[in-house]
Chain A
């Protein structure tokens, strides 16, 4: 039977059915408006009409005039002194021998316990592309500007590179990436030194034997103030080191340069560096026979100089380090004055005297750096390619102490200008060693890796005289790092440490 058509068909109801909600109510609504009242603005202007300037300045205080009280009762004075003298004398004597305060030092500033890296100064693009490395570092007098000399050590014959000097200032809160001053030179700069009093003059020694002076103050003038001319009496080989020394006139300074040709020349800026004032040459003749290499060596064999350091108290004597490994004491009195005629090319090299007075027992291999102690006139350190640092007493040929921090060559060493017993050295595997003789006479106090990898050598080192906490190291990648030295290594010498230095510096009792 077919299904009925009324079932299962789509069914649409004819009308929609609405079922109202029992609980839902229509919500009451009400409209309202609000508006802030208009803001009243008033405008006035003011301007200074009358101006008044006033200046003040302190006048130097007139020196206080005072006179000693002449009238006094002598009788009571004698009585007073009698009573008081014994008390004061016992106290004075006690003080000399007292060890009550040894090791006590009041720290008024926060002590920094470790040596930390403060800034990393990367070379500018040109120097980085030319793969120049840091050959020397120098701080200026105020201690907050560091100048970096860029050059290379690996020349085969002539120098084709253009070296540079760049200076960074660390005085501000932010140290900029780019140097505040830089100058390009004709050949690699091998050494640089800031003037000890004028914070804007830098002396530099170049690979082609020239000595030049640059100024950082005035950007309008030429950066290079003077350059030495080539001549028979000037350096024929690279200049190893330049230093400023006090001249006879107070406030005047001479530049002393030592070169790989053994010449030690004195220059002065007053004649525009046209010719050196006087010079001498290091010759084998003054080295005693037992120190010379075996075989007959002619006494006029030249000893190439690699470093020079002046004694702090007596700048007439200086210590030189040489390529064959000899360390010698020389005197500035043994020189021959040079003038313009002797400097001309072709007039023949003037015969220069040998300034060596005393030779110390040598290193094996070239001695790379030498540094006299600024605190004691008798002490100096030398660092050689044999990885040894030797502490010598000026009066003795054998070294007092020998330190062997590394099996690799040591490139530089310096005494700290702030602590008498502290000196630092850098090595070819990128390590910086800081020694403190009062702390331990054989092991370094601090050893730091100052280069990115140990295949990069740390080539230069400089303590800042003005700011005792700064130490700069330069490496073979051209990067300069500025470190903050731990306070224990930077604070001034006091008490027992000084006695350790005195003991080393005085003549050995036995």
Chain B
């Protein structure tokens, strides 16, 4: 029993560590982990934005996936990037979850001054 508890805590720490690593990259504005239905598991953005992103982006990712599958039934969507004037949205998905990252690629390293 104790072993299992340790395992769960270790997993939790791993999840947090991974998320921190990803958000510490330059220009990352936020990440959202969601399921295919649109429900959100973890997010580093505020509520309204998270809600918008989870519904809109999951729909778009589903659409992208169906396009890829239609073109070639053996192919599958691995990564979706949408670049806009202000930032870039990256979606990596697997069967259960989606990881949505928003990054501003024009943001430069913040110097000391």
> Which 3 residue pairs are nearest across A and B when measured between Cβ atoms?
A74-B11, A95-B105, A92-B25
Contact: B15 with A69, CB < 8 Å? no
Contact: A87 with B92, CB < 8 Å? yes
Cβ of A246 < 8 Å from any Cβ of B?
no
Known: A68-B43, A74-B15, A83-B94. A92 touches B28 (CB 8 A): yes
Contact: A78 with B94, CB < 8 Å? no
CB of A129 to closest CB in B, whole Å: 50
CB of B8 to closest CB in A, whole Å: 6
Cβ of A115 < 8 Å from any Cβ of B?
no
Q: Mark B23-43, 1 if CB is under 8 A from A, else 0.
A: 001111000010100011111
Interface residue count on the B side (C-beta < 8 Å): 43
Q: Which of A64, A76, A507 contacts B113, CB < 8 Å?
A: A507
Known: A68-B43, A78-B11, A88-B99. A506 touches B83 (CB 8 A): no
Contact: B11 with A75, CB < 8 Å? yes
A453 to B1, CA, bound (A): 91
Known: A81-B99, A494-B106. A95 touches B27 (CB 8 A): yes
A495 to B108, CA, bound (A): 10
Nearest A-chain residue to B81, judged by Cβ: A91
Across the interface, which residues of B come within 8 angstroms of A63, CB to CB? Answer: 47-48
Known: A84-B94, A506-B113. A89 touches B21 (CB 8 A): yes
A395 to B113, CA, bound (A): 10
Q: Mark A398-442, 1 if CB is under 8 A from B, else 0.
A: 000000000000000000000000000000000000000000000
Contact: B79 with A91, CB < 8 Å? yes
Question: Residues of B with Cβ closer than 8 Å to A?
Answer: 8, 11-12, 14-15, 18-19, 21-22, 25-28, 33, 35, 39-43, 47-48, 50-51, 78-79, 81, 83, 85, 88, 90, 92, 94, 96-97, 99, 101, 103, 105-106, 108, 111, 113
Given contacts A78-B15, A395-B113, 9 further A-B contacts (CB under 8 A): A64-B47, A72-B41, A87-B92, A88-B99, A88-B101, A89-B21, A92-B28, A96-B105, A378-B113
Contact: B51 with A494, CB < 8 Å? no
Chain A 471-510 residues near chain B, CB threshold 8 A: 492, 494-495, 498-499, 502, 506-507
A435 to B83, CA, bound (A): 29
18 inter-chain pairs at a CB distance below 8 angstroms, sorted by A residue, are A74-B11, A76-B97, A77-B15, A77-B41, A80-B96, A82-B18, A85-B21, A87-B79, A87-B92, A88-B92, A89-B21, A91-B90, A92-B26, A92-B28, A92-B90, A502-B108, A506-B113, A507-B113
CB of B46 to closest CB in A, whole Å: 11
Q: Which of A76, A92, A492 contacts B101, CB < 8 Å?
A: A92
A330 to B68, CA, bound (A): 61
Across the interface, which residues of B come within 8 angstroms of A494, CB to CB? Answer: 85, 106
A506 to B51, CA, bound (A): 38
CB of B55 to closest CB in A, whole Å: 10
Q: Which of A81, A89, A93, A101 contacts B15, CB < 8 Å?
A: A81
Contact: B25 with A498, CB < 8 Å? no
A123 to B42, CA, bound (A): 61
Across the interface, which residues of B come within 8 angstroms of A507, CB to CB? Answer: 113
CB of B111 to closest CB in A, whole Å: 6
Contact: B94 with A96, CB < 8 Å? no
Contact: B94 with A80, CB < 8 Å? yes
Cβ of A105 < 8 Å from any Cβ of B?
yes
Q: Which of B28, B35, B48, B92 contacts A69, CB < 8 Å?
A: B35
Nearest B-chain residue to A494, judged by Cβ: B85
Known: A69-B40, A78-B15, A492-B85. A89 touches B97 (CB 8 A): no
CB of B92 to closest CB in A, whole Å: 4
Across the interface, which residues of B come within 8 angstroms of A64, CB to CB? Answer: 47-48, 51
A78 to B42, CA, bound (A): 13
Nearest B-chain residue to A64, judged by Cβ: B51
- Interface core residue of A76, A96, A106 (most chain B CB under 10 Å): A96
Q: Mark A99-136, 1 if CB is under 8 A from B, else 0.
A: 00100011000000000000000000000000000000
Across the interface, which residues of B come within 8 angstroms of A158, CB to CB? Answer: none
Cβ of A16 < 8 Å from any Cβ of B?
no
